[in-house]
Amino acid sequence: MFKRLLLVMVVGVVFLTGCAKPPVAELEETRRIVAYAYAAGASQLAADLYQAASNALQTAEDQVHQRKYKAAQASLELARNYSNLALTLTVQRKKQLELDQQKREEEKRHEEEKRRAELLRKQQEEKARRAAVKRQVEKPPVVVEIEEPKLLDKVEVAAAENLQMIASRPDVYNDGMLWPLLYKANRDQIKDPKEIFPGQILQIPRDKNKEEIEAARAEALELNLF
Question: Along the 226 residues of the chain, how does pLDDT read in single tens digits?
Answer: 333 333 333 333 333 333 369 999 999 999 999 999 999 999 999 999 999 999 999 999 999 999 999 999 999 999 999 999 999 999 999 999 999 999 999 999 999 999 999 999 999 999 999 988 888 877 666 655 666 778 889 999 999 899 999 999 999 999 999 999 999 999 999 999 999 999 999 999 999 899 999 999 999 899 888 8
In three-state secondary structure terms, 155 is: strand
What's at 77, amino acid-wise? E
Give CA–CA dist 105/103, Å, rounded.
5
Q: Quick one: pLDDT at residue 142?
A: 61
HSE, CB side, 13 Å, CA atoms: give it for residue 172: 23
Q: Quick one: pLDDT at residue 141?
A: 60
Q: Quick one: pLDDT at residue 137?
A: 75
